[in-house]
Amino acid sequence: MTKIRISQIMTRTACLATLMLIFMSLTAAADSHEQDSAQKAVLITGASSGIGRRTTELLASRGYFVYAGARKQKDMDSLNALDNVQAVRLDVTVQEEVDAAVETVRKGGRGLHGLVNNAGVFTGGPLIETDIGELQWLFDVNVYGVYRVTKAFAPLIIESQGRIINISSISGALDWPMGGPYSMSKHAVEAYNDTLALEMARFDVNVSAVEPGNYKSDISATARARMAEKGLQNKDTKYADEWAGMSDSPADRSQHKEPDEVAEAIRHALFSESPKPRYMVVPNQQEAGWTIGELVKELVEWNERQPYSYSRDQLMEMIDAQMAGSE
C-alpha cells in the first residue's frame, strides 16, 4: 500500500514538473514574442500633432520603437520626451531631410518594419480661382511627399518584408465645393496606394490605405493661418458666400473626436497578421453614409447607359463576390 502511494506521489510530481516545464516554455515564447514586437521600428511622418502624434503615443506605449518625423525643434523636443521615441527632423518636401532620415534609421540598427505616410496639409477654395502655387504646394506635401519618402525608405521596408501605410481621407472618395484641391490630392494618394500595393506584393510587403473622416487635428487651423497670411480669402471672388462658410467653421476642429480610432486602425494595419487593404475610419454613421453612398453613386454612373453595362443582378453578384473574398 505504501509503495503504491509513493508511486502515485512520484507520478503526480512528474506530471506537475512536466506541466511546469510546458508553462515556462509557453511563457518564454510569449516573452520572446513581446520582445520581438518591442524591437520592431516604425517611422511616422507628420508626428507632431493630430493623427501622427496619437499614433506615435499609441505605438510607443505598446513597446514599439517610433522614429517620429517633425519639422520644428519644439515638436521634436516634445516627441523626444516620450519613451521609445526618437524624433527625426523631416520635412517631406525636402529631399536632403528625407535622405538624412533614412541614414538615421539605418544607423539605429533596428531595421524598419513600418512606414506611415501621415504628413499632410490642407488648402481650400474654388478650383477656377485657386492659385497654381497653392496647388503645387499642396501636392508637394500630400502626394509628392508620400512618393519621396516611400521611394527613399523602400529598401529598408523590403529588407524587413514590412508594411507601408498611406494616410488618405474619405476625401479620397468624396468631392465637395471649396475642397477641390485637397480632394484632388487624396484621390491621387488612393491611386498611388493601390498601385504601390500591387507592385510591392512581390516582395511580401503589405500596403494599406487608412481613410479617416472628421477627427480633431490642427490641419484646419494651420490652413486658416496660411490662407489669411496669403490673403487668399480677401481677393475678388465669385464665391463670397462659400468663403464665408469656411470662415465660420471652427478652426480648431474641437467639435470632432480625438483620432484614437484612427491610431488603432494604423496599429492594426502595421502589425495584424491579416491587415486590410483599406481602413475607412469615421466617427459616426453619417460620415460612413456620405462615403459609401458616393462610391455607390459613382458605380452607377460608370455603369449607366453605355454599351457594355451590367444589370442590377449582375452588379449584386459582383458585390457579393467581393464581399465573400474579403471575409
Closest to 127 in 3D by CA, of 185, 167, 172: 185
CA dihedral defined by 136, 138, 143, 144, rounded to 10 degrees?
A: 50
**DSSP characters over 35-100:** HHHHH-EEEESSTTSHHHHHHHHHHHHTT-EEEEEESSHHHHHHHHTSTTEEEEE--TT-HHHHHH
Closest CA to 161 of 101, 106, 114: 114
Other C-beta atoms lying within 10 Å of the C-beta of residue 21: 10
DSSP-derived 3-state class of residue 163: strand
Instruction: Give the C-alpha separation, 302 to 103, whole Å.
Output: 46
The single-letter code of the amino acid at 132 is I
The C-alpha cell at 106 is: 539605418
Among the options 67, 182, 192, 215, which is catalytic?
A: 182
* 239 tagged catalytic: no
* Neighbour order of strands in the sheet with 114-117: 85-89, 65-70, 41-44, 114-117, 163-167, 206-212, 278-281
Exposure letters 205-227 (e unless 16+ CB within 10 A, then b):
bbbbbbbbbbbbbebbebbbeeb
Which grid coordinates are listed for 48? 507632431
31 Cβ contact partners less than 8 Å away, ≥ 6 residues apart = none
Active site residues: 182
